[in-house]
Structures are given as structure tokens and as C-alpha cells.
């Protein structure tokens, strides 16, 4: 059935199915885990099962309700996420959604709210949602999704049943990629590099040439390549670059600490070994943490151009230390 079509997340699926089978469905769930590991698919499957004509722990995928939810047109299943031209989920959008679920379901067992990106709620929007979670309508269920649990309002988290959704097993990711026109070598490489995120692996597969160019910049020991290249301009491109920078420095630190078997960029072993012998490892680790902080600030909607400039400066400082050795 449809639960089986969701790749990985066996524990999360089992918990949700048990709740459905024993009629112990929580008023609100919070699916927490990295991006691209199946959280939204779990939310949609739960919404289908709650309103399926069979009233079982699995959706039939054939009744009118299941088909409507799968197509995204069911009147009693309400999705809310960050819009393409916005950085935050604002209070007006939350109020509109809450006004809909205040009414009884039009043709469903329960109304379902799927809110993707709880950490991106404005303070006012989060407080408005909190009031509904404290006194939820009997005919409504909330399924919240986050990739940054620490960024969610603690009082919202406390009102939810938390379902952990960890990164996927690399073998699962590799098999999926091979089934989508990716050769075995690249699939194996990306399955490790993506750290269990299927969407990240697919994104890197589609931009593989661009990532190779990014790796060439990491291999360079001179500052010119960083000064000549154009800075990433979009939040998506910058997040991708920051992730790559952190993973490269992670590998350098592992090689320097006799942990070569843990590296992600195994095909660049020679360059990693040269940099590990030349770089100040403490500075390397410190730079990685500073880049992680910049990535977090990007999630907090700091200007992408400012973050890109600061990231480049951090890398240039690292190179300066290398050149002085």
C-alpha cells in the first residue's frame, strides 16, 4: 500500500500506523528531521489514512478522499508553507488556515492541517498557532513539519507528538539514484555525500558538473579562484555551497586525525591529504563551525549576499594561514 511507497522511515511509519490502528491518533504531530527524507510524504499519507473510506491504518488510494488528497484538491486538507517570494510564514496565512478548520469538515472525517516549515513562522504566527494547539477543534488534526527543531517555538513543540525522521541509509539513497538514470559510481558517491537526504542527492545529481567546479575551488590553495568567481546570489545556491564547504573541511579534519575511512570525498584523497598536512587543523575546524553559523543565519533570513561575502572571507582567511605555513 501507500505506506510502503515511502522510502525509509520505517519507525515513523510504524508509529503512525499503530496510532491509526488503535485509535490513539494525537491532536498534533511534529515530524522532525533533515530536509528531503520523506516528512511531507508521511504527512500526506497520514492525512489520507485519517479520511480514507476504509477507516484503517492504511489508505486505500482508491476512494474519492484518497484520490483528492493525493491530487492536493481535498477541501478539508489544508497545506501551509513558505511561499516562493517570502522568507517567513506570516500571521495572515495562519489566521486564514485556522478560520477554515474552525468550521466542521465539508466531506471528511477530520480536517487536517499540514504546516511545512514550523521554524519559519513569525512570532505572531507561532503564537496564533499555539492558541489553536492548546484548544484544538475536536474535528481537526495538525501535522507540523520541521527540519530545524531547535528553531521551533518550545511551547509549540511541547503540544505535539514528536516523530523523528532521520537521514536515510546511504544504500537506500544509492538504489533510488540508480533507478533514476544515475550510474553506480556517482550514485554511491552521492549517497554518502547527501548525508541521508534524498532531495539533496537528487539536486546534486542534476547539478553534478556544477559541484565538480565547486570542488575545484576547494582544492585550490591560492585566493584568486575565490576572488574571480561570482558569489552565489540565491539562498538555494548559497546553502548548497555552504554545505559543500563544511563537508570539505570535515574531510580535511578527518584525514588529519587519521580518520580517512570517514571521508565523504574519497575520490579526492590525495588533495585532502595534502591540505591536511598543510592546514592548521584547529583553524580548519573553527572555520567549519563559523560556516555552519553562517548557514544557520541564512535560515534566519539574513541577506544571502552578505552571508556569501562572509563565507568567502572565512575561506580566504583559512587559505592565508595555509600559505603562511
Encode pLDDT of 134-167 as tens digits.
999 999 999 999 998 998 999 999 999 999 999 9
The C-alpha cell that represents 59 in the structure block: 489508505
The C-alpha cell that represents 113 in the structure block: 492541517
**In the predicted model, is pLDDT for residue 183 greater than 90?**
no
Cα distances (Å, whole numbers) of residue 287 to 243, 247, 253, 281, 293:
13, 12, 11, 10, 10
Q: CA 127 to CA 145: how far, in whole Å?
A: 17
**In the predicted model, is pLDDT for residue 13 greater than 90?**
yes
Q: CA 124 to CA 94: how far, in whole Å?
A: 9
Please choose, from the candidates 234, 229, 241, 221, the residue with its C-alpha nearest in 3D space to the C-alpha of residue 316.
Answer: 221
Segment 258-270 mean pLDDT: 82
> What is the band of 101 on the pLDDT scale with cuts at 50, 70, 90?
very high
Q: What is the DSSP letter of 301?
A: T
Supply the mean pLDDT for the chain. 88
Q: What is the DSSP letter of 137?
A: -
HEC readout, 264-275: CCHHHHHHHHHH
Taking the complete model, does pTM exceed 0.75, yes or no?
Answer: yes
Please choose, from the candidates 221, 219, 249, the residue with its C-alpha nearest in 3D space to the C-alpha of residue 311.
Answer: 249
The C-alpha cell that represents 138 in the structure block: 475536536
Q: CA 39 to CA 147: how far, in whole Å?
A: 9
Sequence-distant (≥ 6) Cβ neighbours of residue 1 within 8 angstroms = 58, 59, 60, 61
- Tell me how far the alpha carbon of residue 87 is from its chain's centroid: 16
**In the predicted model, is pLDDT for residue 99 greater than 60?**
yes
Q: Which residue has the cell 533533515?
A: 34
HEC readout, 230-283: CCCCCHHHHHHHHHHHHHHHHHHHHHHCCCHHHCCCHHHHHHHHHHHHHCCHHH
Helical packing angle, 198-206 and 208-219, nearest 10°: 90
Other beta carbons less than 10 A from residue 258's beta carbon: 9
Lowest mean pLDDT among 61-65, 127-131, 179-183, 194-198: 179-183
Lowest mean pLDDT among 103-117, 133-147, 250-264: 250-264
Q: What is the pLDDT of residue 318?
A: 82
3-state secondary structure of 28: strand
Handedness of CA 193, 194, 198, 201 (dihedral sign): negative
Q: CA 197 to CA 221: how far, in whole Å?
A: 30
Q: Which regions of 147-207 does DSSP assign to beta strands (E)? A: 161-164
3-state secondary structure of 220: coil
Give the torsion through C-alpha atoms of 253, 259, 262, 264, to 10 deg. Answer: 40
Sequence-distant (≥ 6) Cβ neighbours of residue 208 within 8 angstroms = 186
Please check whether residue 50 is in contact with residue 109, taking contact to mean a CB–CB distance below 8 angstroms. Answer: yes
Q: CA 153 to CA 166: how far, in whole Å?
A: 21
Amino acid at each position: 500500500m501507500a505506506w510502503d511507497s515511502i522510502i525509509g522511515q520505517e519507525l515513523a511509519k510504524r508509529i503512525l500506523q499503530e496510532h491509526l490502528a488503535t485509535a490513539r491518533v494525537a491532536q498534533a504531530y511534529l515530524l522532525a528531521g533533515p530536509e528531503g527524507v520523506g516528512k511531507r510524504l508521511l504527512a500526506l499519507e497520514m492525512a489520507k489514512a485519517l479520511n480514507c473510506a476504509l477507516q484503517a491504518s492504511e489508505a486505500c488510494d482508491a476512494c474519492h478522499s484518497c484520490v483528492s488528497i493525493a491530487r492536493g484538491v481535498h477541501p478539508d486538507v489544508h497545506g501551509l508553507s513558505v511561499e516562493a517570494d517570502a522568507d517567513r510564514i506570516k500571521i495572515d496565512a495562519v489566521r486564514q488556515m485556522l478560520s477554515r478548520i474552525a468550521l466542521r469538515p465539508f466531506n471528511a472525517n477530520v480536517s487536517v492541517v499540514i504546516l511545512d516549515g514550523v521554524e519559519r513562522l513569525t512570532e505572531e504566527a507561532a503564537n496564533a498557532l499555539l492558541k489553536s494547539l492548546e484548544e484544538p477543534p475536536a474535528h481537526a488534526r495538525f501535522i507540523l513539519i520541521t527540519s530545524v527543531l531547535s528553531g521551533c517555538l518550545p511551547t509549540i513543540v511541547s503540544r505535539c507528538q514528536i516523530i523523528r525522521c532521520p537521514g536515510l541509509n546511504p544504500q537506500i539513497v544509492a538504489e533510488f539514484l540508480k533507478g533514476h538514470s544515475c550510474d553506480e559510481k556517482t550514485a554511491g558517491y552521492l549517497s554518502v555525500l547527501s548525508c541521508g537526504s534524498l532531495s539533496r542527492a537528487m539536486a546534486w545529481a542534476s547539478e553534478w558538473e556544477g559541484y565538480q567546479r565547486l570542488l575545484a575551488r576547494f582544492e585550490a590553495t591560492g585566493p584568486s579562484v575565490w576572488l574571480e568567481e561570482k558569489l552565489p546570489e540565491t539562498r538555494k545556491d548559497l546553502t548548497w555551497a555552504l554545505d559543500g564547504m563544511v563537508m570539505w573541511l570535515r574531510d580535511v579534519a578527518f584525514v588529519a586525525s587519521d580518520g580517512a575511512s570517514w571521508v565523504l570525498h574519497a575520490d579526492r584523497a590525495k588533495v585532502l591529504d595534502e591540505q591536511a598536512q598543510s592546514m592548521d587543523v584547529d583553524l580548519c575546524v573553527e572555520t567549519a563551525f563559523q560556516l555552519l553559523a553562517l548557514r544557520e543565519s541564512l535560515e534566519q533570513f539574513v541577506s544571502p549576499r552578505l552571508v556569501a561575502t562572509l563565507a568567502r572571507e572565512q575561506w580566504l582567511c583559512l587559505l592565508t594561514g595555509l600559505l603562511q605555513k
